[in-house]
Structure 1
């Protein structure tokens, strides 16, 4: 699978010059982020057909990873303390898309979440057909009929 962004594009977003080891980490991060983008979008793109927003998200994820590849949440040296609050939790130190980024990728790929209605019934229950607009009675006895909810025999209202 192709990377959706180049190492040069990632270097342009970083505040420092990468050494050889950091370039290796950045290259792997670009591969991982590109693969994850395809998974969340549910589509596969080539490097030339990928939408620009996906390329931007891949670069954003890789920059976040390169700023803190070990996933530290706090660092202390002498009197100075630095803290990160990327809301990483279990993803600390890995290439990951946030929930909002995942939703955006799903929408780009055409995988919008939807609501599904499923019919639920009790075990061993028997459905009795009831005409539209009528509510069935719980225990049909001799002479009991479904009562109208909103309709009569002629129309819904």
Structure 2
């Protein structure tokens, strides 16, 4: 599948001119980020132009973050040459990745909404109660569902 963005679009966002090795790394980063975008969105946009523009923007953002810091360093000192990686990045350190907010955006673009959902559950071969059965009157409001036996409500 084709990447959502081109190497020229990524190069335009970077502050330096890429050499041949960096161009190879950037091209594979675009492919990886595009595949991750498809995964998080839950959609297979075979034609990259069919995807919303926001997907392209998120892919470019992730690739720029990776190209600026390909090893995933969080701290570097020149004096004693100490380097550090953050545990928060975990397995994503040194790879192309999307932040949690970016993953949530991709999921929403793909049609997946986060949140709590409820589904009505009934027993096998059960029948529905008639409207109003099992409701207890409340002083100032709608009746409260108690769902007692219809023949002996109390």
TM-score greater than 0.5 by the shorter chain:
yes
Q: CA deviation at 1:44?
A: 1.6
**Aligned residue-pair number:** 137
Within 5 Å, give how 1:73-84 maps onto structure 2: 73-78=74-79
1:130/1:146 contact within 8 Å kept: no
Provide structure 1 residue ranges, at least 5 long, that are not aligned to the other structure. 121-127, 138-143, 148-157
Q: Which residue of 2 aligns with 1:135?
A: 147
CA separation in 1, counterparts of 2:68 and 2:82?
A: 16
CA separation in 2, counterparts of 1:18 and 1:34?
A: 20
2:73/2:83 contact within 8 Å kept: no
- Bigger Rg over Cα: 1
CA separation in 1, counterparts of 2:21 and 2:3?
A: 19
Q: Which residue of 1 aligns with 2:54?
A: 53
Q: CA deviation at 1:115?
A: 2.3
Q: CA deviation at 1:111?
A: 1.0
Corresponding residue SS for 1:4: coil
Q: Which residue of 1 aligns with 2:8?
A: 8
Corresponding residue SS for 1:48: helix
The 1:109/1:118 distance shift into structure 2, 3 A limit, reads closer
User: Is residue 145 from structure 1 mapped to residue 146 from structure 2 by the alignment?
Assistant: no
Instruction: Provide TM-score, normalisation by structure 1.
Output: 0.72
The 1:66/1:130 distance shift into structure 2, 3 A limit, reads closer
CA separation in 2, counterparts of 1:129 and 1:22?
A: 67
The 1:116/1:34 distance shift into structure 2, 3 A limit, reads same
1:29/1:95 contact within 8 Å kept: yes
Instruction: Provide TM-score, normalisation by structure 2.
Output: 0.73
CA separation in 2, counterparts of 1:91 and 1:80?
A: 23
The 1:83/1:13 distance shift into structure 2, 3 A limit, reads farther
Corresponding residue SS for 1:74: strand
The 1:29/1:119 distance shift into structure 2, 3 A limit, reads same
CA separation in 2, counterparts of 1:48 and 1:135?
A: 54
Indicate the RMSD between aligned Cα atoms, in angstroms: 3.0
Q: CA deviation at 1:74?
A: 1.3
